[in-house]
Amino acid sequence: MLHFLSIMDIDKGLYSRKQQILIAGAKLFHKKGFKGTTLQAIAQEIGIEGPSLYNHIKSKNEILSTLLLSNAQEFYDRMLEIKSTSETALQKLERLISLHIELTLKNPNAMALMLNEWVHLDAEDKTKYVNLRDSYDNDFQGILAQSIAEGDVADLEIDLMRFMMLSSLRSLYAWCAKYKNFNRVELEVTVKSVILNGILKK
């Protein structure tokens, strides 16, 4: 999984050229949309000539698929890791919330693309992405069901609970972009409190 930091790091020599292209692509796809971004604009963002991009990537679609599939794969892999623990379902939910916060802060632009820009993926990559996303969502709902069975979470409409929780977590990048001077620990405490207090069994 690539570590997407601020676009300012591109000039510090910390990344390979392909990583620089991916970072710039994530930023511009988020800002202008996939269709509104050209390869020339990505090249200009990192200070190289347009044709030089093809030494590192084949197309604009390759940039998008790399960004989205790497993120989706990390969510999938981390879900498997969390599922395999002996923790209670509620503890697993807390870890999943922490996971969303971690990846949002690490990859804010790439995270933003997961909501809408996936529709522009090529057919094969779109199928891979949807399968990874749906598997994650199903596992998330399974952990919710387990937490209800264990008596920690209220027995409410589980599909709606999953939808509301994941919608909030997947949109967190927008809040972080608007309110930049926040404390990571306080953010995590607040998000967990807001999300979990609404579903805990009273």
pLDDT of residue 158: 96
Residues 6+ apart with CB under 8 A from 169: 97, 100, 101, 104, 191, 195
Give the whole-angstrom CA distance, residue 201 versus residue 198.
9
- On whether residue 2 sits in a domain, the answer given is no
Six-digit token string for 41:
């604009």
Are 111 and 189 members of one domain?
yes
Are 170 and 117 members of one domain?
yes
CATH code, domain with 35:
1.10.10.60
Are 116 and 49 members of one domain?
no
pLDDT of residue 90: 97
Candidates 96, 102, 130; CA nearest to 114 is: 130
CATH code, domain with 144:
1.10.357.10
Are 129 and 66 members of one domain?
yes
Residue ranges of the chain whose pLDDT lies below 70 = 1-15
What's the total number of domains in the chain?
Answer: 2
Contact 76/130 with Cβ under 8 angstroms? no
- On whether residue 156 sits in a domain, the answer given is yes
- On whether residue 22 sits in a domain, the answer given is yes
Are 87 and 160 members of one domain?
yes
- On whether residue 35 sits in a domain, the answer given is yes
Give the whole-angstrom CA distance, residue 101 versus residue 68.
17
Are 171 and 99 members of one domain?
yes
Are 133 and 157 members of one domain?
yes
CB-count exposure of residue 8 (10 Å: 0-12, 13-18, 19+):
exposed
pLDDT of residue 17: 86
Which structural domain, as residue segments, surrounds residue 165?
60-197
- On whether residue 123 sits in a domain, the answer given is yes
- On whether residue 1 sits in a domain, the answer given is no
pLDDT of residue 40: 94
Phi, psi angle pair for 200, to nearest 5°: -65, 145
Are 70 and 128 members of one domain?
yes
Are 113 and 134 members of one domain?
yes
